[in-house]
Structure 1
Amino acid sequence: MSEQSAARIGVYPGTFDPITLGHSDIIRRGAKLVDRLIIGVTTNPSKNPMFTTDERLAMVRREIADMRLGNVEVVGFNALLMKFARAQGASVILRGLRAVADFEYEYQMAGMNQQIDDEIETVFLMADVSLQPIASRLVKEIALFGGNIAPFVSHAVCEDVERRVGEIGRQGDY
């Protein structure tokens, strides 16, 4: 395959704990920008996951199947992002932004990633304005305190989270 006809591969990495409507929005839109989009489900030592890696992989795969996107696949990884992207043949890292605080963190990460591999570009997509407040961390917190998470995740993910909260127990007094 020549350089000009090579498929453009993108990686959208994240913990997806759980996958939210904001993630799904970025996936749908990102899938239009590349020939193949790989959703990289990873671990993050600084986060306390509600779901195991295998559970998150299954959850994301189910959500992708429901979106009927033929050019998207889900892969688990536990490595440096740029090494994972290179191994996948990616030329693009896709990142979603919700707010200025996201930009500051992502800007720093993009700069570090460019130092590691300057042949892979980072592309930022702004979350849909109606989805900007949604964060997996907040979804888990709302669920743990007995709040309604249905506006932030799909019906199936809502059931997954509620089942897990039932297993680990709710927080709070009210």
Structure 2
Amino acid sequence: MRRAVCPGSFDPVTRGHLDIIGRSAQLFDEVIVALLINQAKQGLFTVDERLDMLREVTKEHKNVRIESFQGLLVDFCRDQNAQVVVKGLRAVSDFDYELQMAQMNIGLSGVETLFMPTNPIYSFIASSLVKEVAKWGGDVSTYVPEYVERRLAERLRAARQN
């Protein structure tokens, strides 16, 4: 079985993420979307909320599984018997960092990295930008699925009330 891992923080999941996940699902028998739990970073959404959103917006892909992990990505890949990591690249600046990570990963464990260019219509989308635009009342409907847009609006509305 050809199994790949698409890692990320997905805070929140964007259409750019879904582009890479969906295209990966066409190439591999199983795709594991791996949500990194980073204790040092406070997200807008909890891990459980992000897992829920990921499950909801990827449910059309029967070969996509959603998991979370802590620690080294290569250890997670080994535990899941995944042979490759799929990383989306938006720009050359992404490549510089991701190449170093890919080289480290192959050196540590032999796990390969497949770089997939993001569809140009999503190439500028980043979760941090989506959150910033939404925070100031901007329309993010073209950048995130409707379910995520609703959750984002609810979270930001609750934050303003507190």
TM-score (normalised: structure 1) = 0.89
AA matched with 1:34: F
Question: 1:47: Cα distance to partner?
Answer: 3.9
Measured on the aligned residues, the alpha-carbon RMSD in Å equals: 1.3
Unaligned runs of 5+ in 2: none
Distance in 2 between residues matched to 1:44 and 1:52, nearest whole Å: 11
Question: 1:97: Cα distance to partner?
Answer: 0.4
1:142 aligns with: 133
Question: 1:46: Cα distance to partner?
Answer: 5.5
Q: Is the 8 A contact 1:22 1:127 kept in 2?
A: yes
Question: Which of 51, 59, 66 matches 2:53?
Answer: 59
Q: Deviations over 1:65-103 (max 9, x none)?
A: 1xx111111011112100001000000101000011111
AA matched with 2:13: I
| Larger Rg computed on CA atoms | 1
Distance in 2 between residues matched to 1:52 and 1:35, nearest whole Å: 29
Q: Is the 8 A contact 1:21 1:131 kept in 2?
A: yes
Identical aligned pairs, as a percentage?
A: 42
Alignment of 1:71-110 (within 5 A): 71-110=63-102
TM-score (normalised: structure 2) = 0.95
Question: 1:48: Cα distance to partner?
Answer: 3.2
Q: Deviations over 1:20-77 (max 9, x none)?
A: 0000110110111111100001123564310000000000000011xx1111110111
Task: Tell whether 2:46 aligns with 1:49.
Answer: no
Distance in 1 between residues matched to 2:20 and 2:113, nearest whole Å: 14
Unaligned runs of 5+ in 1: 1-6
Question: What's the secondary structure of 2:101's corresponding residue?
Answer: helix
Alignment of 1:150-165 (within 5 A): 150-165=141-156
Q: Deviations over 1:133-156 (max 9, x none)?
A: 100011011111221111100111
Distance in 2 between residues matched to 1:19 and 1:153, nearest whole Å: 7
Distance in 1 between residues matched to 2:39 and 2:128, nearest whole Å: 14
Task: State how many pairs are aligned.
Answer: 161
Moved over 6 A (4+): none
